[in-house]
Structure 1
Amino acid sequence: MVLATSRNQTPIVTWEKLPDDFILPDEPVENLQQPTIAAALTDALGAANRIQPQMLIAVNFALVATVNQKNVVKAPDWLYVPNVLPVGTGVIRRSYTPNIEGSAVAVVMEFLSDADNTEYSIRPTFPYGKLYFYEQILKVPTYVIFNPYELTLEVRCLQNNQYVLQEASELGRYWIPELELFLGIWQGTRLGLNIDWLRWWDEAGNLLLWSSEQVELEKQRAEAAVAELESERQKKELFAAKLRELGVNPDLI
C-alpha cells in the first residue's frame, strides 16, 4: 500500500544547525505511557549491547530541517540515527540536524495520541505534517506508527520517494532493516506497569530482554547453580553415609 502525498510544491530543503537561542517547542506528552514505551525500546537495545557511542537514540527529541528558509522542528517519540558527530566536552545536544551533524535519520516512531491524527498528516506547507516531513523532507527510511488504544502497529518503508506500508510476519512482527531486528507488540509488566509494549526480536526470533529481565534471569541462574551444588553435596553425603554403614571409610576412597 502506497500512501499518496501532495507534490504540488517542491520544498527547498537546506541543513542549518539551530541557533543556540532558538526556543524548542515544548509540547505536553499526550499519554504518560508514551515515554515509558519509548524508554523500554532503548533499554532493550542497551541491554543487548546494540548501542554504540556514535549512535543517536533518543525519545521526544528535536529533528531539524530548514525548508523554504524556515526552521522546521519535529520531535518523534523515538528515533535512531546510526552515526552522529560528537559534541564538545560539556555540551548538551539539544537537537539534531541531519547531514551537518551526522548521517541521515534511519528510523522514527510516533505513538498515536487520542487527541488528533497528526502522525498521518501529509500537509505539504509550513509547519508541515509529520508524515510529509519524514517522507519528503528528512526522507527517513522507516516510519513506525503505534496505536496503543487500538493495538495496531504500522511500519512504512521509503520506496521510490514514497512510504509503502509493510506487511507483518506470521507472528505479527515487522522487520526493521536499519536495526536488523523485528519489532512487535508484547503484553506484560515492566516497572509495575502492565500494558502492551513495543519489543525487539532478533532474526532468530529471540526476544531482546530489558535490563531488569536480564538481572532477574541472572538471579535465577545463580539460584539454580546454588541449588545444583547443594543437591550434589547432599548426594555425596548420602553416598558417604552408605559407605560408612558398610564399614568403608569414604575419605580413603
Structure 2
Amino acid sequence: MLAIDLAASPKIAWEKLPDDFVLPDNPVDNINQPLLASALTDSLAIAGRLSETTLTPTNYAICATLDGQYVAKAPDWAFIPEIRVSRQEIDRSYTPNLQGDMPAIVMEFLSDADGSEYSTKPTYPPGKWFFYEEILQVPYYVIFNPSNGILEVYRLDESGRYRLQTAAENGRFQIESLKLFLGVWQGTRDSRTGYWLRWWDEESNLLLWRSELVEEERQRAEQEYQRAEREYQRAEQERQRAEQAEAEVAELRQRLREAGIE
C-alpha cells in the first residue's frame, strides 16, 4: 500500500465504514484489559451517569476517512456522550460526527506490546496517539499501566496538542466534561487483586461498583437486623423485669394476706 503522509493537513471525512471493510482482528493484550474496562463502565452505570444513548465501548473500532482511506482504531475504553443512530447501525464500528458525538475520553491500558499507545506515526495507517490527537481531537487521552498503577492523563490544549496533566494532591485527575475525577485504586474485583481505575464525583465520593453496592446494602441490612435484635432484647428484658416485679408484688400481697393484713 502506498504510504500517505497525513501530517500535511489530511482531508478528513466522516463516512460509514463499508460492510466489507476488514476490521483488525487483534485479541486483547491480556486478560486484565476487559476487567479494567468493565469496572469503569459499571460504576458509571450504577451512579446513573449513563443515558440510553451513551456509549462506553471496549476494544471497539472508532473510524474516520483520511485522504480517501478508512482508518479504524480500537481504544481499550472510550466514553461517547451520545449516539444519534440505532445500536444496530453501529454494531461493527462507530464514526464520530456522522453517527454521534466525538469521544470525550479514550483510554489505553499498557501491556507487553510494542508501545503503540504512544505512536505519533503520521503516515497511513496512523499511530494511535496521532489519530486521537490530530484526527479525532479527543479532549482526554488516558494511558494506564495496570501492572504498576502509573496513570498518565493527557488533555488537548488550545494549540491542539496533548499535554500531560498533573494530579491533585489526592492523586486524582479532573475530567471536566464528565464532572468526575479519575484516579488509581488498589484492591480486588472479579478475582483480580491489583491496581484499578476508579471514578470520584465532585464531592470526593467514590463511585461504587455493583458488587460494592450489594455488599454495602448487605452490611446495612445486617446492621439494621442487629439494631432490631438489640431492640428486641431490650424489650424482652423490660418484659421480664416487669413480670418479675409483678410476681414480687403478688408474693408480697400473699404474705400480707397470710399475716391478716389487707
TM-score calculated relative to the size of structure 2: 0.88
Separation of aligned partners in 2, 1:57 and 1:126: 27
Q: Select between 170-179 and 69-78 the one with higher mean Cα deviation.
A: 170-179
Secondary structure of the structure 1 residue equivalent to 2:183: strand
5+ long unaligned stretches in structure 2:
248-262
Cα deviation for residue 107 of structure 1 reads 0.6
Aligned AA for 1:190? R
What SS does the aligned partner of 2:103 have?
Answer: coil
Q: C-alpha separation between the residues in 2 aligned to 1:189 and 1:8?
A: 43
1:21 deviation in Å? 2.2
Letter in 1 for 2:213: Q
**Does structure 1 residue 24 correspond to structure 2 residue 23?**
yes
What is the 5 A alignment of 1:226-241?
Answer: 226-241=225-240
Question: How far apart are the structure 1 equivalents of 2:106 and 2:90?
Answer: 21
> Which residue in 1 is equivalent to 2:11?
12
Return the alpha-carbon distance in structure 2 between the equivalents of residues 103 and 196 of structure 1.
Answer: 30
Q: What amino acid maps onto 2:83 in structure 1?
A: V
SS, match of residue 178 in structure 1: helix
Runs of 4+ residues deviating >4 angstroms: none
In the alignment, structure 1 segments of 5+ residues that lack a partner are 1-5, 249-253
Cα deviation, 1:212-248, whole Å, max 9, x if unaligned, reads 1101111111111111111101101101111122218
Residue aligning to 1:113: 111
Change in 2 beyond 3 A, CA 1:138/1:166: same
> Percent of counterpart pairs with the same letter?
51
Within 5 Å, give how 1:149-188 maps onto structure 2: 149-160=147-158, 161-188=160-187
- Cα distance in structure 2, aligned partners of 1:40 and 1:147: 15
Q: Which residue of 2 aligns with 1:124?
A: 122
The residue type paired with residue 105 of structure 1 is: P
Letter in 1 for 2:150: T
Q: What is residue 253 of structure 2 aligned with on the other side?
A: none
Contact 2:46 2:209 in 1 (8 A): yes
Partner of 1:85: 84
Q: Which has the higher helix share?
A: 2
The range that moved more, 148-157 or 215-224, is 148-157
Distance 1:59 1:30 in 2: 13
1:143 to 141, 144, 147: 141
By how many angstroms is 1:117 displaced? 1.1
User: When the two structures are aligned, how many residues end up with a matched partner?
Assistant: 242
Cα RMSD over matched residues? 1.6
The residue type paired with residue 161 of structure 2 is Q
Counterpart CA distance in 2 for 1:93 and 1:105 is 17
Aligned-pair CA distance for 1:91: 5.3
CA deviation vs aligned residue, 1:168-203 (integer Å, no higher than 9, x gap): 011111111121111111110111111111111111
Distance 1:196 1:46, change over 3 A: same
User: C-alpha displacement at 1:50, in angstroms?
Assistant: 1.0
SS in 1 for 2:222: helix
Q: What is the match of residue 204 of structure 1?
A: 203
The structure number with the bigger radius of gyration is 2
Residue of structure 2 in register with 1:251 after alignment: none
Per the alignment, in what secondary structure is the counterpart of residue 131 of structure 1?
helix
Partner-residue secondary structure (3-state), 1:58: coil
Is this contact kept in 1: 2:147–2:194, CA < 8 A?
Answer: no
AA of the residue aligned to 1:32: I
Q: Does 1:195 align with 2:184?
A: no
Secondary structure of 1:239 counterpart: helix
Q: CA deviation at 1:101?
A: 0.2
Q: For the Cα contact (< 8 Å) 2:7–2:123, is it kept in 1?
A: no
TM-score by length of 1: 0.91
Structure 2 CA distance, aligned partners of 1:91 and 1:162?
Answer: 32
CA deviation digits over 1:57-85, x for unaligned, max 9?
11111000000110000000000111111
Q: State the distance in 2 between where 1:201 and 1:158 align.
A: 22
